[in-house]
């Protein structure tokens, strides 16, 4: 049985910040796609890098279309607060963290993998056409432990009307690549 290799986090993070692509990282550190995903997760859990640093680095997506854990469409951080309400229980409130052409990341609404939910999104500061409704299927979920236990989940948008899609597109255009 092969002993586990130690990878210095500071070296790995330095390579990410220097612009190294996913495949280069995997080759240099001799790690599998699953190992790379675990390292990324540990970096985020240790708060050594923030999610936005990963999202803003297109080179992490280059050459990796076949790696199933990487996003096909990059996420953009939401600049203005967007509150989400669970259509099945309007007393359940969450917040939109980031968006892509095909999905959203939601904080604060308890869910489980595969669950289909209807959402009402309210963009702040409020104004005309500042809300939209959509349906999404949970693709991943995790429970954040600090400072309190909060659910964070990714939803693939499965249904949105053409009118609602226009409001969502405006949100996408305003969102940053931070």
Range of lowest pLDDT (58-62, 83-87, 127-131): 58-62
The answer to whether the CB of 60 falls within 8 A of the CB of 75 is: no
For residue 130, the 8-state DSSP code is -
- Flag whether pLDDT at 60 surpasses 60: no
CA dihedral 45, 50, 35, 106 (to 10 degrees): 80
Residue with more model confidence, 84 or 19 = 84
Helix, coil or strand: residue 19: coil
pLDDT at 65: 39
Judging by DSSP bridges, how do beta strands 76-77 and 82-86 pair with one another? unpaired
Closest C-alpha among 172, 169, 144 to residue 51:
144
pLDDT band at 17, cuts 50/70/90? confident
pLDDT tens, residue by residue, 75-89: 788 878 899 999 888
Q: Give residue-wise pLDDT tens across range 30-56.
A: 888 778 878 888 887 777 777 666 655
């Amino acid at each position: 049985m092969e002993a586990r290799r130690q990878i210095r986090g500071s070296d790995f993070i330095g390579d990410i910040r220097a612009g190294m692509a996913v495949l280069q990282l995997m080759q240099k550190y001799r790690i599998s796609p699953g190992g790379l995903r675990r390292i990324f997760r540990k970096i985020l859990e240790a708060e050594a890098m923030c999610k936005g640093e990963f999202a803003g680095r297109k080179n992490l997506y280059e050459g990796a279309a076949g790696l199933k854990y990487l996003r096909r469409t990059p996420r953009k951080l939401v600049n203005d607060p967007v509150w989400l309400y669970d259509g099945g229980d309007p007393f359940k409130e969450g917040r939109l963290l980031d968006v892509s052409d095909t999905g959203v990341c939601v904080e604060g609404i308890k869910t489980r993998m595969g669950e289909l939910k209807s959402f009402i999104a309210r963009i702040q500061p409020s104004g005309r056409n500042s809300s939209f409704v959509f349906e999404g299927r949970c693709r991943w979920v995790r429970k954040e432990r600090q400072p309190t236990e909060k659910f964070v989940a990714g939803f693939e948008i499965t249904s949105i009307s053409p009118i609602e899609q226009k409001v969502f597109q405006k949100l996408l255009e305003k969102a940053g690549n931070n």
